Chains A and B, each alone.
Chain A
Amino acid sequence: MSAAATAQGPAQSRRGTTFTAATLLLPILLINAIGFMLPVANLAVISVSEIRSSGAMTGGWSIAKWTTVATDPFYWELLANTVRTSLIVTILTLVVSYPIALCLHRMNGAWKSILLVLVISPLLLSSVVRTYGWIAILSDRGLVNSALAALGAQEPFRLMFNLTGVMIGLTEILMPYMILALLAGFGRLDPRVEEAAATLGAPPYRVFWRVVLPLSLPGVALGSLLTFVLAISSFITPKLLGGGRVFLLATEVYDQAIVTLDWPLAATLSIIVLVVFGLALAVYTRILRQIG
């Protein structure tokens, strides 16, 4: 009797823990199911729906959009272009954000709080507003070119309506996310460890390469993943700063869905973006495991 009770005890408590865990996870499971899984399933359905040239659905099924995307080199180029642009933006964002994040990580007290607020404050403005800000700076008669003209430049530099403008804008807009992610990942950076390296004979640049950089890699990986995903899915900035001349997956999805009213094609391209996300996540997990 008592033996049975003791044997039952742990099993019962384990069942209790499982129950608690399930209860706690339920809200997020529901939100995910309704807000993410269902729409994705819906996208999949739309992508194989048949439509008339007017855009109206016939109610039948067709894999025409998938074959188009797979066979038309335009879409392959679009995909390559998108991934390349997002990667470059990610690297640019990382390079300019890393020193800021490192500096913030090492600060403490009131200045850290003030600077942190300054870093986050751009997020209070919508990226539409910030993009218009960049237009004011980058256009042919904007801040940069007016300054250059005043210094005697004959022709304005084309900083807008091309990939350069898109990359400048995206880099700035994504910096707060990168900085916050880097800060979150800098947990293993211990000033004592850097001091230990210094007393062992490492000059500052070697301390950086051998200690600071390796220990900050989790932050770098996290920030890069986040920035890459945000870059690949952003469409307002590429749309406005690209001026219709820069073709990326996200802008193409928008055009197909809103302008051409080709929903199945928009859905197909959306799913491709989602697959790229999945791949990025897989690469991230792999890297994280390798860092240890």
Chain B
Amino acid sequence: MPAEDHVSPVTKQNADETAATDRFLSLQALTKRYGDTAAVDAVDLDVRKGEFLAMLGPSGCGKTTTLRMIAGLVPTTAGQIVVAGRDLTNVPPYQRDMGLVFQSYALFPHMSVAANVAFGLEMRGMAKADIRARVAEALQLVRLTGYEDRRPGQLSGGQQQRVALARALVIRPLILLLDEPLSNLDAKLREEMRNEIRDIQRRLGTTALFVTHDQDEALTMADRVVVMNKGRIEQTGTPEDLYERPRTAFVAAFVGRTNRFPGTGAGEVVHVGGVTMRCARPVSGPVEVMIRPHRIHLDGAGERRADDNHAAGTIIRTTYAGNVVQYDVQAGDAVFNVEQSTDATGALVSVGTAVTLSWSVANTLVFEAAP
């Protein structure tokens, strides 16, 4: 207590402000148990003000449960949810000021678009004229001006999702929570909505939490990505961190495509089915080796690159996908998947051709094998 007296009010205020911006949302040992199984297991997470954070993981990993606990729709078993310095753990959802966008849109089918967007403002007892202005502004933001009197049933999926977005944003929520909002849209629309959501979030400076099972969505949209698995956080980092410096085999395999081999470590080399390769850190015993298909170079037999790892092999399958060609290369007992970008002049290497594979140590990711 006395120590605090010496802190000048200015510094203390600054400290509070940094705390409020760096840890705008703070989950502390957040846990949700259903019977004996923990859907969310002691999750710690800090989100900065204005940050766009994606929670990525397979279905059942606890990402949606975490989001629903933040919204107040699922009671917590243990732990705390603190937003802007205020403990919201036991605050009911209608007093939390969270803007939630559902995968199924969850619009009010019996209300017009304008009434849907106005709902949150009405609940806040705002004056009619102000509501009208804010609704118009929100609909303009999502480019739905002129659709005020339509019913949700008369809109396309993309339009419905934009109404849901406007409805969540119009209340100027503390945090915008998005629960797989693009999963029900077709591929082209999904790409469009990605950019739209991202642009709107940047323009408004809203802190956003985005739950998805789609790694492309997470990597392209988010400032930071949290990878979850079995109720725990596997890794938190920028998209680049996760892709280039995965901390666990799960993250390496879940984020991006990768070759995945069981191997045996012996110091700074690993043996994978007759192929010996060098890796960045000393390992021993059973390991898992991962190499991204597009980080492996493919050359004619005997042509060696300056890279540190090489393997001689034979092409056993060629898959042409327009922008890239995927080759399956048998090298020793292992089958390497190699990806090359195509160009107008390049010819495909045919099945049966002997080739040399080269890749760098940095691209040789090694993890302890799961017991």
Contact = CB atoms under 8 A, between A and B. Distances in A.
A112 interface: no
B92 interface: yes
B123 A199 contact: no
A200 B73 contact: no
Nearest to A199: B100
Interface in B82-107: 92-100, 102, 104, 106-107
Given A190-B104, A206-B123, A199 B99 contact: yes
Contact of B108 (A199, A203, A211, A291): A211
Contact of B93 (A188, A192, A195): A195
Interface string B108-128: 111000000001100110000
A213 to B, nearest CB: 10
Q: By CB atoms of chain B within 10 A, which of A198, A201, A215 has the most?
A: A201
Interface in A251-292: 291-292
A120 interface: no
Given A195-B93, A292-B151, A200 B106 contact: no
A200 to B, nearest CB: 4
A196 B102 CA distance: 8
A214 to B, nearest CB: 5
A206 B102 CA distance: 20
A73 to B, nearest CB: 44
A113 to B, nearest CB: 21
Contact of B119 (A188, A195, A200): A200
Contacts of B100: 195-196, 199
Nearest to A192: B106
B221 to A, nearest CB: 21
Interface string A196-224: 11111111001000110011000000000
Contact of B120 (A200, A203, A211, A214): A200
Interface in B38-70: none
B167 interface: yes
A197 B102 contact: no
Interface string A222-266: 000000000000000000000000000000000000000000000
B239 interface: no
Contacts of B95: 201
A123 interface: no
Contacts of A292: 110, 151
Contacts of A198: 72-73, 92-94
Contacts of A195: 71, 73, 93, 100, 102, 106
A193 interface: yes
Contacts of A201: 94-95, 97, 120, 123-124, 171
A290 B92 CA distance: 34
Q: By CB atoms of chain B within 10 A, which of A196, A200, A203, A291 has the most?
A: A200
A184 to B, nearest CB: 17
Interface of chain A, helix or strand or loop or mixed?
A: helix
B181 to A, nearest CB: 13
A210 B119 contact: yes
A78 B92 CA distance: 53
A197 B73 contact: no
Given A199-B93, A201-B124, A193 B107 contact: yes
Interface string B165-182: 001100100000000000
B151 A192 contact: no
Nearest to B102: A192
Q: By CB atoms of chain A within 10 A, which of B73, B96, B98 has the most?
A: B73
Nearest to A217: B110
Given A195-B73, A199-B93, A200-B171, A190 B106 contact: yes
Nearest to B167: A200
B89 to A, nearest CB: 16
Contacts of B124: 201
A199 B96 contact: yes
A198 B119 CA distance: 11
Given A193-B108, A214-B110, A203 B94 contact: yes
A215 B92 contact: no
A7 to B, nearest CB: 35
B92 A199 contact: no
B167 to A, nearest CB: 7
Given A199-B73, A206-B123, A193 B94 contact: no
Contacts of B96: 199
Given A200-B119, A202-B119, A206-B123, A188 B71 contact: no
Contacts of A199: 71-73, 93-94, 96, 98-100, 168
Q: By CB atoms of chain A within 10 A, which of B97, B110, B151, B167 has the most?
A: B110
Contacts of B106: 190, 192-193, 195-196
Interface string A169-196: 0000000000000000000101011011
A203 B107 CA distance: 17
A200 B123 contact: yes
Contacts of A215: 109-110
A252 to B, nearest CB: 42
Contacts of A210: 108, 119
Given A201-B95, A201-B120, 8 more contacts: A195-B71, A195-B93, A195-B106, A199-B168, A200-B123, A202-B123, A206-B123, A292-B151
Interface of A: 188, 190, 192-193, 195-203, 206, 210-211, 214-215, 291-292
12 contacts: A188-B110, A190-B106, A192-B104, A195-B73, A196-B102, A199-B73, A199-B94, A199-B100, A201-B95, A201-B123, A202-B94, A202-B123
Interface of B: 71-73, 92-100, 102, 104, 106-110, 119-120, 123-124, 151, 164, 167-168, 171
Q: 6 tightest A-B contacts by CB?
A: A201-B123, A200-B120, A192-B106, A196-B106, A199-B100, A198-B93
